[in-house]
Copies of this chain bind each other. A is one copy, B any other.
């Protein structure tokens, strides 16, 4: 097992974000809306190495606030590793001794890929709201260009949670010939009205911040108050009633008695405030608008007579669908709907409803359970397809306990 000097077995250690630019005019990407976008830069990272025929490539798709930096550290001084660090490395869920892992940022985001805070080459100024509205299908279309560029004919698997799970499903529907397996976690085939409503109040919080200025705030004061508020709303939906009981209860922050005033006094209020303030340092308000809007539009059956019909071309793809019992944002019934439609087209589907109190966030936190599920599933795909990928050093993919 490798050790990168951070004293942590299996870590991928120091990594670097890479950038791929394509769709240079006049060959812009045509979006679902009919609008054109180009040039487009995608930020991405890779971990592990490709095998000879590049059949060991796995594409990780991130959620709303994620980015290309899924694992490792950018500098030895980084306090935090990538967002799914625990799952990527030697002997981990995504075993870098076996697989070549790619994580790509989405278009519309603000983490190095082209989005509303990027410079519009036509004006020399940030796009702002002049950036075209993108959809999950557009994000996936852009990623397909990256996969072409990386010389990957067929991905071993696409995997992601939440908005990442939507992208995974969209991959299966849009480019089924380009993948062997698809693993949507805590996902849905179409955003529910409740989720649209929650996204809309987040957007309204941004619109109503006077600094937002209809999206033209770059170079001036930013709509921090609105964005932080949107994040606070989001955070409530990522947790569960039960996990909040356990994490905070009705405990007060730094005081023993009610203050009978309007200061932040419950621990849960302090937690939300902290996460709201933290978010404004690392996210762009316009990107929040674009990405939530992309989710709202997400409806795999749109343009088809049914979800079953939409899945028809993906009948040969093998699926591992995972939901989490306490996830009320994308509840298990929404995963079961996916499973039913996939079964109806005769696809090979494994479904697991993981018992967890963590709510929607469980897809990031239930690492041990997911490691068993995902690594066994990936090993099965490799064996079934006779791929030239080494067998795991230990059966479950979990680091050895000594």
Residues of A at the B interface (CB closer than 8 Å) are: 32-33, 35, 129, 132-133, 190-194, 196-198, 200-201, 203-205, 207-210, 225-226, 229, 232-233, 236, 239, 241, 244-245, 247-250, 258, 260-262, 264, 266-269, 272, 289, 293, 296-297, 299, 328, 331
Residues of B within 8 A of A132 (CB): 260
Contact B299 A250 (CB under 8 A): yes
Partner of A133, one of B32, B229, B260, B267: B260
Contact A232 B196 (CB under 8 A): no
Contact A268 B328 (CB under 8 A): no
Residue among A190, A193, A205, A262 with the highest chain B CB neighbour number at 10 A:
A193
Give the complex CA separation of A204 and B250 in angstroms: 19
Contact A196 B268 (CB under 8 A): yes
Contact B193 A297 (CB under 8 A): no
Give the complex CA separation of A33 and B257 in angstroms: 10
Give the complex CA separation of A1 and B269 in angstroms: 52
Give the complex CA separation of A193 and B262 in angstroms: 16
Contact A269 B197 (CB under 8 A): yes
Residues of B within 8 A of A191 (CB): 250
Contact B244 A229 (CB under 8 A): no
Give the complex CA separation of A225 and B212 in angstroms: 14
Q: A260-B133, A268-B200 are in contact. Are A244 and B193 (CB under 8 A)?
A: yes
Give the complex CA separation of A297 and B252 in angstroms: 11
13 further A-B contacts with Cβ under 8 Å, apart from A33-B260, A197-B236, A208-B209, are: A129-B262, A190-B250, A192-B245, A193-B247, A193-B250, A193-B268, A196-B250, A196-B266, A196-B268, A196-B269, A200-B269, A204-B229, A205-B205
Taking the closest CB of chain B, its distance from the CB of A129, in whole angstroms, is 7
Taking the closest CB of chain B, its distance from the CB of A208, in whole angstroms, is 4
Give the complex CA separation of A241 and B225 in angstroms: 28
Contact A229 B208 (CB under 8 A): yes
Taking the closest CB of chain B, its distance from the CB of A116, in whole angstroms, is 11
Contact A201 B133 (CB under 8 A): no
Contact A233 B201 (CB under 8 A): yes
- Sample (12) of A-B pairs whose CB atoms are under 8 Å apart: A33-B260, A129-B262, A193-B244, A193-B268, A194-B244, A196-B250, A197-B268, A197-B272, A200-B232, A200-B269, A201-B272, A241-B331
